[in-house]
Amino acid sequence: MISQAAGLAAAIGPDWCLKTVGVRRPWRWLPGHLCPMPLRGLAPGSDAVVPPWPRLVISCGRRSVPVALAIRKAAKGSTRAVHIQDPHVPVDRFDLVVIPHHDAVTGANVWPSRGALHRITRADLAAAADRFGPRFASLPRPLVAVLIGGASKAYRMTGDDTRRIADQLRRMARQTGAGLAVTLSRRTGAANAAILREALADLPGFVWAGEGDNPYLGMLALADHIVVTADSASMVSEAASTGRPVHILSLTGGNARFERFHSRLAEDGVTRPFDPGLPAWSYRPLSDTAEAAAHIRTLWPDLAGC
């Protein structure tokens, strides 16, 4: 959520700040537009939310909705409110809602994105390529970045899933001579991480699990192919911002929302199911964050100087 909101704010202009907020129980369980006086009931640990009110407030996630709407109301028309993701309230409560296409929410003020917004820019990737180039220089080509997620509301990552993924990656390395740069997430779990480390230990490359500098941006910038587990729209969207072939590893589970997400990107020629032979293809990289920012500046030209 922070990545999406901060990415959009930075794409609009340099003058922004980040506030992390929550609403106290039981009010946070109510729909955001029904929460009474949320600015007086912020949860412990929330950042202060006080005047002067900004010209634009960007919120992301259901629990930020009451605070964003309260700012919009308190500002009496001087603050526009943009929400990222489905706010689970009538969308006309906001001036604009940026919702992924796969959420299937429509409205006159809805701007649909193909993927998840994020804060990675071309400049970030170029800087990461320079920084991490020497670390990856000794790895064989093609270089394959492997982004491993894990259990979520929609997916499970079972031991069988992990062993299948490890076997697929081993077959890929044998067939293509590829080097591997693998990163795990907190959702991968210790047992699954151990399976992957053991299975891939004799292959050229590395498995990063938190030690030293995070090479994630370097992996995106320098890889010839990117392999991503199906559970994270954010990781898939970040991978697809590079223009490199994005191969999807299946996991147990899924739901209609993710099916729409993956189907749309496959239809657009962005992603394909993982193939150990590493076929290559090209596509127009996802640029939802920049496009959403451009749309906002078109709607409200006075924000150009923010």
Asked if residue 272 lies in contact with residue 248, where contact means CB atoms within 8 angstroms, the answer is yes
Length of the chain: 306
Mean pLDDT by groups of 10 residues along the chain of 306 residues: 94 92 79 77 90 95 91 94 95 96 93 95 96 94 97 96 98 97 95 96 91 92 98 97 98 96 97 97 96 96 68
Q: Is residue 282 in some structural domain? A: no
Do 259 and 174 share a structural domain? Answer: yes
Do 82 and 131 share a structural domain? Answer: no
pLDDT score of 89: 93
pLDDT score of 213: 87
Do 84 and 196 share a structural domain? Answer: no
pLDDT score of 303: 80
Q: Is residue 280 in some structural domain? A: no
Q: Is residue 278 in some structural domain? A: no
pLDDT score of 304: 59
pLDDT score of 306: 47
Q: Is residue 9 in some structural domain? A: yes
Asked if residue 109 lies in contact with residue 97, where contact means CB atoms within 8 angstroms, the answer is yes
Do 175 and 127 share a structural domain? Answer: yes
pLDDT score of 23: 84
Asked if residue 250 lies in contact with residue 262, where contact means CB atoms within 8 angstroms, the answer is no
* CA separation for the pair 111, 182 (Å, rounded): 34
Q: Is residue 300 in some structural domain? A: yes
Do 261 and 128 share a structural domain? Answer: yes
* CA separation for the pair 266, 218 (Å, rounded): 25
3-state SS assignment for residue 60: strand
Do 97 and 69 share a structural domain? Answer: yes
* CA separation for the pair 12, 306 (Å, rounded): 7
pLDDT score of 26: 78
The residue range of the domain holding 7 is 2-114+289-305
The number of folded domains in the chain is: 2
pLDDT score of 198: 96
Q: Is residue 150 in some structural domain? A: yes
Contacts with 177 (C-beta within 8 Å, 6 or more apart), sequence order: 140
Do 42 and 139 share a structural domain? Answer: no
Q: DSSP alpha helices (H): ranges in the chain?
A: 2-12, 65-74, 122-136, 159-176, 190-200, 216-222, 233-240, 256-267, 288-299
Q: Token pair 């906002």 is at which residue?
A: 296
Do 129 and 269 share a structural domain? Answer: yes
CATH of residue 181: 3.40.50.2000
Structure tokens at 115: 């993927």
Q: Is residue 81 in some structural domain? A: yes
Q: Is residue 283 in some structural domain? A: no
* CA separation for the pair 217, 224 (Å, rounded): 14
